[in-house]
Amino acid sequence: MPAPHDPKDPAAIARMAADPGIRSATRDFFDRSFQHRYSYNFSWLGRPIIQYPQDIVAMQEIIWKVRPRLIIETGIAHGGSLIFSASMLELIGGPGGVLGIDIDIRPHNRVEIEKHPLFRRIEMIEGSAIDPAVVAQVRQRIPAEGPVLVCLDSNHTHEHVLKELELYSHLVTRGSYLVVFDTVVEDMPADAFPDRPWGPGNNPKTAVHEFLRTNSRFRIDHEIADKLQITVAPDGYLECVA
């Protein structure tokens, strides 16, 4: 059966990405909207998702393309991303599940996630994503067959994200993705996170670039950020190619 017509034009996307006016406008929008906690305005099926809508759309495209058997997410917060991933797997059908990991799953969030109608596709582990005991639990849940997709969105320091990349990249299957959120921290003003240990020079993007210097299984899928323009994950959409 022939594939449906795809109206996307890669050449047009590349031209848009190279347009300095668009780059300037999107950079200004991101910096200004961040000051107003823009990402906190949205929810997915009743749970706050704390993401920019553009990245939600990108994740929808990736999940539909990859059709993962398991989606691993580090960082749970209110659980909106877990519910989003579960809803995509529900649409796809089959036995796919979501595994969320967080060092502190707050009781009120756990209650809301566990009573959600899509919780049957979700499992949660409380603990640090880089704790060997937690990693061992994750490995026990890797399916015998089927794609595995990994999303990193917990502690955003260079050291922590680099360790996550080293530990979880092995679980990603060829043709799937390893998505690193909040790489945009590298491009933001130095005073954007006064109460956090991360910032320019110490963030997920710096970790991604160091990781890729010694790992040839992944490549940055630049087209995703190029077509989104507004994204928290520039250089963070990593396709597993080997």
pLDDT single digits (tens) 28-37: 999 999 999 9
Give the Cα separation of 153 and 182 in Å (integer).
Answer: 7
pLDDT single digits (tens) 124-165: 999 999 999 999 999 999 999 999 999 999 999 999 999 999
The DSSP-derived string for 128-176 is -TT-HHHHHHHHHT--SSS-EEEEE-S--SHHHHHHHHHHHGGGPPTTS
Residue whose tokens read 């989104």: 228
Contact 50, 84 (CB under 8 A): no
Helix (H) / strand (E) containing 179: strand 177-180
Where are the chain's structural domains? Answer: 10-240
pLDDT single digits (tens) 1-33: 345 678 889 999 999 999 999 999 999 999 999
Q: Does domain 10-240 have CATH number 3.40.50.150?
A: yes
pLDDT single digits (tens) 42-84: 999 999 999 999 999 999 999 999 999 999 999 999 999 999 9
Position 4 scores a pLDDT of 60
Position 159 scores a pLDDT of 98
pLDDT single digits (tens) 187-196: 999 999 999 9
pLDDT single digits (tens) 184-228: 999 999 999 999 999 999 999 999 999 999 999 999 999 999 999
Position 71 scores a pLDDT of 99
Give the Cα separation of 230 and 58 in Å (integer).
Answer: 11
Position 1 scores a pLDDT of 37
